[in-house]
Structure 1
Amino acid sequence: MKMSLRQVFAPALLAFALTPLAFAAQANQHEDHASEVDREAFQQRMEERRQEVYERAGLDEEQQTALNELNAEHYQAMQALREEHHEKVAELLSEEERDALKNAMQEVREEHRGDGKGHGRRGEHDHHERNAETASE
């Protein structure tokens, strides 16, 4: 069975294009830091990009719907896991300890950024710190 280039590269292209949705999900957890207008504009841009990817990949409506449902299911599972993690951190650390941890991470992040050791906004270093910060909230 011979596969076209589109069939071979479509899954990778789709995965690449859906990556911003993960960032959108992460952005949603920080609602306090963005206005409603900014969030709506961001979500609209992500939806437009997703549609463009679907079209370029040649996905039909049924496939698009199935992927959207899978993504929604994944997002809900991640939200539940995040909530469970927050609860476990709260059991492990007192509120004061969580605040101290959060402040220490902020200080270290600022020091590293000041020294030029940061990896940028989406760098691995900052990503791990944001995840740890989320865990301590």
Structure 2
Amino acid sequence: MKMSLRQLFAPALLAVALTPLAFTAQAGHHEGQGMDREAMMERMEERRQEVYQRAELSGEQQAALNEAHAEHREAVLNLREEHQARVAEILSEQEQQALRDAMHEMHAEYRQEHGHGERGKRGHHDDSANEMDAEEAATE
């Protein structure tokens, strides 16, 4: 069966559209972000629908992809919870906070060195990304 370019690139386009959803899962636990999270989720859903339309996916394909994404997201969230529990077994709350602080500092320094300005100190998604980095660093 011969695939069109559109069919070949549909998974890549979908991945690009869905990648930020991983960050929204992390961002939801920060106070004061409820409305921002909802708005971001809406924008992501709109983007996903646009990707589906551009790729000319059928309704059946869209539903199957949405189901696969939901299952993946659930698995990632469960794995993240397991990882956080493991980190909590290894480090005290104070040590975890020290690790997060060190990661924030290093991230800010990196962003400043590479011309990304002050946003790196406490950007809108930096906290969740840095927590993930800190957790990964704790396991290495």
TM range (shorter): 0.7 to 0.9
% same residue: 58
Report the Cα offset of residue 60 of structure 1: 1.0
Q: Residue 51 of structure 1 aligns with which residue?
A: 49
Structure 2 vs 1, CA of residues 22 and 118 (structure 1 numbering), >3 Å: closer, same or farther? farther
SS of 1:3's partner is coil
1:35-114 to 2 correspondences below 5 Å: 36-114=34-112
Query: What stretches of structure 2 of length at least 5 have no aligned partner?
Result: none
Q: What is the root-mean-square deviation in Å for CA atoms of aligned residues?
A: 2.8
CA–CA separation in structure 1 for the residues paired with 2:128 and 2:36: 21
CA–CA separation in structure 2 for the residues paired with 1:60 and 1:89: 43
Q: Quick check: 37-46 or 102-111, which moved more?
A: 102-111
SS of 1:32's partner is coil
CA–CA separation in structure 1 for the residues paired with 2:80 and 2:3: 39
Structure 2 vs 1, CA of residues 79 and 63 (structure 1 numbering), >3 Å: closer, same or farther? same
Tell me if structure 1 keeps the 8 A contact 2:23–2:128: no
Q: Deviations over 1:3-31 (max 9, x none)?
A: 32222222222222222322333333x43
SS of 1:31's partner is coil
Q: Deviations over 1:27-62 (max 9, x none)?
A: 33x43252x222111111110000010111111111
Query: What stretches of structure 1 of length at least 5 have no aligned partner?
Result: none
Tell me if structure 1 keeps the 8 A contact 2:17–2:51: yes
Structure 2 vs 1, CA of residues 69 and 100 (structure 1 numbering), >3 Å: closer, same or farther? same
- Paired AA for residue 6 in structure 2: R
Structure 2 vs 1, CA of residues 106 and 24 (structure 1 numbering), >3 Å: closer, same or farther? closer
The number of residue pairs the alignment matches comes to 130
